[in-house]
Amino acid sequence: MTVLPALTEPRVSGSRRSAGSAWVVLSLSVVALIGYAFAVPDTQSILFAVVAVACVASLMMAPRFNRPNTRLPWRLLAVTAVLFLVGAVLRASLADAAGHLTSLWPDAFTLGGYACIGSALVMFLRHRRGHGDAGSRSDAVVVGVGAILLAWSFLVVPTLGADGAGTALRVVSSLYPPIDALLLFVVAQIAFTDVSRAPAFWLLLLCMVAIFTGDIAYAVDIARIAHPPIMLRDGPFLIAYGAMAATALHPSMVVLTVPQPARVRALVRGRLVTVAAAVVAPVLVILVNPPGAGLRDRVVLAVGISLLFGAVLQRSVRAVNQHAKSEAFLAVQATHDALTGLPNRTKLSERTAADLHDARGSGHAVGVFFIDIDRFKVLNDTWGHGAGDELLVAVGTRLRAVVRDDDCVARAGGDEFAIVCRIQQATEEPTAIADRLFSAFADPFRLSVGDMVLTPSIGIAVAEGDAGYTAERLIRDADIAMYRAKDAGRNRWSLFTTAMHDAVAERLSIEQDLRRAMEAGTISLHYQPIVELAHENLGGFEALARMEIDGRRVPPDVFIPVAEETGLILPLGRWVLREAVRQLGLWRNQYSDLHPDLYMSVNVSARQLRDPELIPMVRAEIAKHGVPPHALRLEITESVLMDDAEAAMLVLQQLRDIGVHLYVDDFGTGYSSLGYLKRFPVSTVKIDRSFVSGLGADTDDQEIVRAVVAMAQALSLTVVAEGVETLVQRDCLRAMGCTSAQGWHYGKPLPAAEAVAAFIAPTPEERAKSPILARQLAGGKRTA
Ligand code: C2E
Ligand code: CA
Ligand code: CA
C-alpha cells in the first residue's frame, strides 16, 4: 500500500499519530516538578537533566512523524534545549559554596539558547503570516514595548544597581528581561496573526510563559529584590522543557508553519485587552513608582512611551486609511466592471441620464449604442472562460479606441457593451458612429488560444434632449434594436423604431394572456392524425397545444416562443405531456380492437429537456395510464440537439432507456446534420413541411426529400412527412419509401372528441362527409 503524501492540505487532523505522546511528556515534566520539590539537590540535577534530555529527544524525533512543512524551526528548538541544559549544568557546577557565580560561561550558553528560540519563533511567525495582518505587528510592538518598559523599571534598573556581583555579570544578567520582552513581542505577533488556535499553539505559549516566569524569578533574585525559592527559579524551566517537547509531539504542530488565511477581522476582545493593558501598565508604573532622578531612567521611559504611542497611532492611522481605501474601492466596484475596468450598467444609466439632461435645449441628441458580440457563447464554450475574458477585455479596449474621449464605453453585462455619446444632429449620423464601432471588430482578435474573427450586432437608439426620454427607456430601446439586429442575421446594426417597441409590447401582452389562459385552463390539446403510408392506416396522433383567451384563439407559433422565452414552457409542457398521455391511455383502452398500436407524439422544447422532473414524470405518467413506453413519441427540434449536445445526449439516452421513441422535428430547417442523427438515440425523422410542399413541383425539394429518406433508411430510421396536403405529395412520398405522413390531406388537428369521430372510429356521417378519410384512416377493419 502506498500512502500519498499530502501535497497541499496540511495534515492537521488526519495525522497518523495521536496527541497522546505530547500529553505524556507534559505530564512527566509536571511529575518531575513535584519530585523536584522533595528531592535533594543532587537528585534535582538528575531530574532536571532527564527532563531536558527527553525534551531534546522529542524535538529531534517529532518532525519525522508529524512532518511539518519545514523542520528548521524545530531543529533550532532542539538546539535551544541543549544550550539551556548546558547552561544549567555549568551554572550548577561553577557556583561557589554560597551559590554565587563568577563565570560568564553559563550565560553564554543560555543566551545562545535565547538566540535560537528567538529565531525559531520568528520562523513560525514568517510562515504563519502569509500575507499578514499588518495590524498584528503594531499590536505586538505595543505589547513588546510595554513589556520592555516594565522590565526596565522593575528588573534592569535594580539589577544594574545591585551590588555584590561583578559588573560584567550584572550587565549580562540585566540582558534577560529585555530579551524576554523581545521574545514576548514575537510571541504576541504569533498570537495576533489570525490563529487557528491549535493545541500546539497553546503548548508553545505555555513554554514561553514558563521561560518568562523563570527569568523573572532569576532577575528578581539577582536584583536582590527578593529570594524566590529554587522551585520558582528552576521549576518553570522544567515545565518549559515539557511544554516545548509537547508542542513538537502534538500533531497540530504542523499548523505553526502553515500560512493563516489573511482574514480581515475586527479586533478580538482578548487582543484588545492585551494591547490596552500594555499601553496602560507603564503609565500606571510611572504613577506608582515615579522614575528616579536619573537622566537615564527618564530617557528610557520617554523613548518607550513615545514608541508605545507611536505604535498605537500607527495602528489607528492604518485602520482609518484602510477604511477610506475600502470605501473608495467599493465606490469604484459599485460603478465599474471588475474584468474590463469599464463603467458598469449602473454607471451607464447615470451617464445617460446626465447626457439627456445636458442635451435639453442644446440642439444635440444623445445616442446609446448597444453592442453584443455574435456567438460569444460558442467561443466561451469551446475555448473556455479564460479566452472569453481575454476577448471581453480586448473588445473594451478597442471600443474605447474608436470613440471620442468624452464618450462613455460601458460593459452592460455578459458580452454586451454600451456606448453613450452626444450626437450633433446637423452634422452627424448615428449610423456613421455605428460604422466606427464595427471597425473595432475589423481585425482578428489575438487571443492566447489563437486569432479569432468576431462580429458585433449593434442596436442604436437616439433621443433629442427635449423629447422627454428617460435613460432607462433609451437604453432599453437600444437593447431592443440590438435584438432586432441579431434576429436579422447578426453582424449588422439596427436603429430603433417605434414598431420595434410595439413588437415588444405585444410580446408582453401575449405573456400576460398566456399566464391568464394557463390559470383559467383555456389551453387545450388538438390531435392531428399520422398515417402509415403503406396501407394508409391510422398510426397515431401528434398532440398540438391550443390557446384561447377572451374568445380569441392565439396560434401556437405565437404563444409557444413566448412561453419558451419566459420559462412558462415548463408548466405548460408538463401539462401537455400529462394530458396527451392521459388521452392516449384512454383511447388505447377504449379502441384496443381497432387500433392496438396507437401512439401519441408530443412536442418537447429545449427548456423541458433541462427540467429534472421530465424523466420521472414521463415514467410516472405512462405507468399511471397503462401506456407502453414505445407508444409515446417525443418530438425534439434539430436546433435543440445542436445547441446543447452534451446535456441533450444524457437526457435523450435516459428517455430512450425508458423505451420512449424520439423524433427529430422539422428536419431540414436547421443544421440537417447526419452526424447527430447517428449519435443521438433517435428513431424517426420528421421532414419539414417546407420541403413536402414543393413535392411534385419543385425538383430541388424533391431531391432533398429523396436524399433524406434514403439517408434515414441507411440509418434504419423511419420518416414522417409533415404538411402533406395533396394526393400528388402523398404519392411522391410513398414512391420514395417514406414511412408515415401527416397533413391536411388526412386531417387537421381536432379536439379529442372530434378526433375520435373523424379518425379513430369514424361515424357513418363522418364517412359520408369524407370518403377518403373513412377509407384511409379506419384501417382495414371497418371498411367493408
Ligand atoms: P410542429 O411541431 O411542426 O407542428 C406541426 C404544425 O404543422 C402544426 O401547427 C400543424 O397544425 C401544422 N400542420 C399540420 N399539417 C399541415 C398541413 O398540411 N399544412 C399546413 N400548412 N400546416 C400543417 P400548429 O399546431 O400551429 O403548431 C405550430 C408549432 O407550435 C408546432 O410545430 C410546434 O413547434 C409548436 N407547438 C404546438 N404545440 C406544442 C406543444 O405542446 N409544445 C411545444 N413545445 N410546441 C408546440
Ligand atoms: Ca412537432
Ligand atoms: Ca414539425
Report which protein residue has its CA nearest ligand 1's atom 27: 556
- C-alpha 518 – ligand 1 centre gap (Å): 19
User: Is 459 close to ligand 1, i.e. is its CB under 6 Å away?
Assistant: no
What pLDDT digit, counting tens, does each position of 190-236 carry?
A: 777 655 678 888 899 999 999 988 888 887 777 777 788 877 888 89
Strands (E), 604-660: 632-637
Q: Rounded to an integer, what distance in angstroms lies between the CA atom of residue 673 and that of residue 283?
A: 86
Q: Rounded to an integer, what distance in angstroms lies between the CA atom of residue 81 and that of residue 207?
A: 12
Q: Hey, which of 637, 722, 726, 744 would you mutate to test ligand 1's pocket, going by the most ligand atoms within 8 Å of its Cβ?
A: 722
Among residues 696, 255, 716, 110, the alpha carbon closest in space to that of 706 is found at 696
Q: What pLDDT shows up at residue 36?
A: 83
Q: How far is CA 556 from CA 302, 326, 362, 553, 752, in A?
A: 89, 54, 49, 9, 18
User: Is 556 close to ligand 1, i.e. is its CB under 6 Å away?
Assistant: yes
What integer is the mean pLDDT of 398-413?
94
User: Strand, coil or helix: what is 581?
Assistant: helix
User: Strand, coil or helix: what is 44?
Assistant: helix
Q: Rounded to an integer, what distance in angstroms lies between the CA atom of residue 693 and that of residue 675?
A: 26
What pLDDT digit, counting tens, does each position of 338-386 carry?
A: 899 999 999 999 999 999 999 888 888 999 999 999 989 888 888 889 9
Q: Rounded to an integer, what distance in angstroms lies between the CA atom of residue 696 and that of residue 690?
A: 13
Q: Rounded to an integer, what distance in angstroms lies between the CA atom of residue 544 and that of residue 559?
A: 12
Q: Rounded to an integer, what distance in angstroms lies between the CA atom of residue 70 and that of residue 292?
A: 48
Pairing of strands 661-667, 632-637: parallel
What pLDDT digit, counting tens, does each position of 272-329 carry?
A: 666 777 766 666 666 665 555 466 666 776 677 777 777 766 766 676 677 777 777 7
**Confidence bin at 104 (pLDDT 50/70/90):** confident
248 close to 74: Cβ distance less than 8 angstroms: yes
Q: How far is CA 329 from CA 207, 322, 323, in A?
A: 43, 10, 10
- What's the distance, CA 449 to chain centroid? 24
Report which protein residue has its CA nearest ligand 1's atom 25: 544
What pLDDT digit, counting tens, does each position of 336-348 carry?
A: 898 999 999 999 9
| Nearest-atom index, ligand 1, CA of 569 | 44
